[in-house]
Chains A and B, each alone.
Chain A
Amino acid sequence: MSRHQVRVLVVLALAAYPALYHLLTQSPVGVEAETLLPRMDTMVALLYFGLFAVSFDFISGYTGYLSFGHAAFYGTGAYFVVLVANGKIPLVPSGTPFMITLLCAGLVAALLAVGIGLVSFRLSGVYFAMITLGFAQVLYVFVRGLEWISSNPRDGASVSGSTHPEGFEVGVPFVDGLNLAIGPLSGDTVTLLGHTLGTNAVSFYLVGAVVLACYLAMQRIIHSPFGQVMVAIRDNEERAEAIGYDTFRYKMGAFVTSGFFAGVAGGLFAGFRRSVTPENTFYFLVTGDALLASIIGGFGTLAGPIFGHFFDESIREFLSPAGQGGGLLPYLQTRLSEGVLSAEVGGLTVEGFIEAALNGHASLYVGIVFVLFVLYVPNGLVGAARDRLGGPVTEKLPDRLWDR
């Protein structure tokens, strides 16, 4: 059982987060807590995008084939959910329960992965990365120009208020009382132990449950014989082939599985945000963010990208200007006294300096952190912990903590 302890702890910590955040922000250190801790909607974004990063790691970190066009699957899942909601997809009516729509979104993305994989796995190494990137960029341009999607496809599409005035009905099977909805408009609140959860917290738990289920499924696959062949392919593909494995079929299987989960992640994104644009779904920088999360968290660790993305997003939010998360900049602007702010050092007021150093430069600092990680923590957060402990963190950490 010991290998589950760490996972259970992480899940419990996440589950306790909304209550903790609520308590801390109401407490005397509320302003500091708001400055340091990610807001609830950031936490939801962290979960669905974390799932996307995990699906990227599933194919790229475990088989060694870098799927640089992974955004194509995320975008497909996201657009699918919005288009279903707007009644544009035949056979899937607008009122379909969200969970079923989500499943379909994953399947459509998986189908796309079959097509892209059949062509791309003729190549390997950097050529594989480039051709998948090419496919994603073609789709990006295509979606930008496709007027069937909305009147202005360049700006993407939104869930229509006339079909879905509120959030998506999740439709928890067999439990009518739990007919919750996802998304900031849902208006659903749940009272638990005398504590009322806001709409973002409800979405947080619903998205979290889906992400957890997907993560555990991928975890199972990685530790199955199929997953061992994936690692064998990464290690030495010729040798895996010479043992008798049809490596093409294994690569396709892994790619399609990964595409499915990326589609689900995109579907969660669209369900929560209710609008999608080509830039935040199909664009190559979306894959870039997953790559960043994987490198910071650790390639080939599966859970690592979630932590990596958490790290990345926390820094971004902490350094973002007022109105976009209330990070360090507004904190300093409101907490430092007038005298300090207007003091001049070398022709520049302190306020001006803070503004110049912090406003809108989050990406710069994230970039510096990224370079430091590549240089000094090449195996990422989870990979470095694994090296330190001499084995998988979930197995070794409990021994370290309790048995000695």
Chain B
Amino acid sequence: MPEMKAVTLDTLLPGEGGFIRGYSEAKELHHRLKELGLVGGTMVRVRRCAPLGDPMELSIRGYHLSIRKEDARHILVLKDEQGPCGRGRGCGRRDGGRS
């Protein structure tokens, strides 16, 4: 078994991905995200970030979804081994550019 650690979705670089473990807090706001398929156990991968670093484009359940980092911050992901594509370009700071 490769080692897995839970990180928040907004910290992933383009090309990185993993399985969703859950949400860091229970909020009614997240219901829409879940309806779109971002539920526990789902495989998610970051495709790219917008030119100004936010939002990020995810690949999930066979389609592409744009999500803001401030929303992605609440989603916990068990990161898999696959590293960032290329030189990890596109997403700006690794802390996800919180403000």
- Are A and B interaction partners? no
